[in-house]
């Protein structure tokens, strides 16, 4: 029961949805989503294990930030594909992130969460989501967004990364004065809510993607 939390449960359901609906997807980027969700789920489980075993799971989450940044950036780049997304921008961003990430790790002596890198990453993903919306609105070609997989994937990312801004802004304070609420920290409760929103949007986007693939194959 230790490993069954809101976060692991929602991540597991989303992973199952990805497995069912994206396994036979024609697009490798969407299929890669299954592995990414598996990594997310493994991180959550490992995080719980590490917290109980060695009383710190910072290392696990610090590694996960790199995977998260790499995959999410790549996926955004993939979604921009139709609008001539440039590879050099993706590579420049990833290089910048890595330099910043390593510098922060060294600055913290590997003893703290890479808060600044994660916050900047969130801001970049919020901007990337807004850019996607902008491109969609500019596009003369009409696409039913209510049933568009990419649109709901981006919306999930926007809800998560924009919604976590309040927690990121209060991060330093919460780190020192985290307040107990319902036997959990405030930050934890907010992130549970954000994870549920994120995984719901993404699960729906997988269903949309599956239906889109099926209808186009007829």
Partner 1 sequence: MQVSTTEIVFLLGLGSLIFLIAPLFLVMYVLLYNRNKKKHAEEKMAMQVSYETELLKTQMEVQEQTFKTIAYNLHDNIGQLLSLMTITLSSVNVNDTARTAEKIATVEDLTKRSMKEVKALSRLLQGDELLGKGLTTAIEAELDFLQRSDRYKISFTRFADIVFDDSSKAIIVFRLFQEIVNNIIQHARATEIFVTLEQVSGMYKIIMRDNGIGFNVDEKISSKTGMGLLNITKRAALIKGTAYISSIPDQGTVIILNIPIAQ
Note the residues at the interface with partner 1 (CB under 8 A). Answer: 129-130, 133, 136-137, 142-146, 151, 155, 158-159, 162-167, 169-170, 174, 177, 179-181, 186-187, 190, 193-194, 197
Give the integer Cα–Cα distance in Å for 95 and 196: 31
Minimum Å distance from CB 124 to partner 1?
15
For the bound state, the minimum distance from the C-beta of residue 63 to partner 1, rounded and expressed in Å, comes to 26
When the beta carbons of 108 and 119 are compared against partner 1, the nearer one is: 119
28-54 and 6-22 helices, crossing angle to 10°: 160
First to last CA, the chain: 44
Going through the chain in order, the beta strands assigned E by DSSP cover: 180-181, 184-185
What's the closest the beta carbon of residue 190 comes to partner 1, in angstroms? 5
169 CB neighbour count, 10 Å cutoff: 11
- Minimum CB distance to partner 1 smaller for 35 or for 166: 166
CA-CA distances (angstroms) from residue 209 to 17, 94, 137, 214? 11, 27, 20, 9
Q: In the complex, what is the shortest distance from the CB of residue 91 to partner 1, in angstroms, rounded to a whole number?
A: 28
Which lies closer to partner 1 via its Cβ, residue 86 or residue 211? 211
């Amino acid at each position: 029961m230790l490993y069954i939390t809101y976060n692991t449960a929602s991540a597991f359901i989303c992973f199952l949805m990805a497995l069912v609906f994206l396994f036979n997807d024609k697009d490798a980027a969407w299929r890669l989503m299954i592995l990414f969700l598996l990594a997310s789920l493994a991180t959550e489980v490992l995080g719980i294990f590490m917290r109980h075993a060695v009383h710190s799971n910072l290392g696990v989450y610090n590694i996960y930030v790199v995977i998260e940044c790499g995959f999410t950036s790549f996926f955004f780049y993939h979604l921009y594909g139709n609008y001539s997304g440039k590879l050099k921008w993706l590579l420049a961003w990833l290089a910048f992130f890595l330099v910043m990430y390593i510098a922060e790790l060294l600055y913290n002596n590997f003893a703290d969460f890479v808060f600044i890198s994660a916050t900047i990453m969130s801001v970049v993903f919020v901007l990337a989501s807004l850019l996607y919306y902008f491109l969609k609105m500019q596009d003369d070609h009409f696409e039913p967004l209510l049933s568009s997989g990419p649109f709901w994937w981006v919306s999930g990312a926007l809800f998560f990364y924009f919604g976590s801004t309040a927690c990121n802004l209060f991060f330093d304070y919460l780190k020192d004065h985290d307040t107990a609420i319902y036997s959990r920290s405030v930050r934890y409760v907010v992130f549970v809510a954000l994870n549920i929103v994120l995984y719901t949007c993404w699960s729906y986007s997988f269903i949309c993607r599956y239906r889109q693939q099926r209808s186009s194959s007829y």
